[in-house]
Amino acid sequence: MEFINFVSDKVINLKMDCKTKEDFFKEIHNKVFELGFVKEEFGEKILGRENVFPTGLNLGDYGVAIPHTDAEYIKEQFIAVCTFNEPVVFSSMEDQDEKVPVNLAFVLGLNQPHSQLSVLTELMGIMQNKELVEKLMDSTDKEEVLKTIKSL
């Protein structure tokens, strides 16, 4: 499984206290930049891409976002798994005017094109599994998140 290879406890962020997607991207940028995973421009570029090509998905009972940016801003590949205390509003991937309250975000920091397709395919499978998504959203422990993902 490709997906699990990019997730570590360093980039699992549970019950984040972000009010806006801008707050969220700032917090994620600071974390992955401090870890040395991204270039300094990452935060600006991921927000810019999200504003032009939104990644919010309304999946009925919950909302998921899959923000990412160009490979050139990624030094070390990662997938950040993020949950929120309160949903953060993203624009819909299908209709930019539609707002999606996002409960779970997977920030893709991938710099190899072949990785992106297989990871996106795996993510689609995860997002369609309501029980799994709810387990991730309810998790309060990073090890629990890793165990859940490894069980796929």
* CATH number for the domain that contains residue 97: 3.40.930.10
**How far, in Å, are 102, 106, 134, 152 from residue 140 at the CA level?**
17, 16, 12, 19
Question: Tokens 């920030």 — which residue?
Answer: 107
pTM value is 0.95
pLDDT tens, residue by residue, 80-116: 999 999 999 999 999 999 999 999 999 999 998 778 8
pLDDT at 151: 84
Count of structural domains within the chain: 1
Percent of the chain with pLDDT over 90: 86
What phi, psi does 5 have (nearest 5°)? -65, -20
Spell out the residues 6+ positions from residue 95 whose beta carbon is closer than 8 angstroms to its own: none
Q: What is the mean pLDDT of residues 108-135?
A: 90
Residue numbers of the domain that contains 21: 3-150
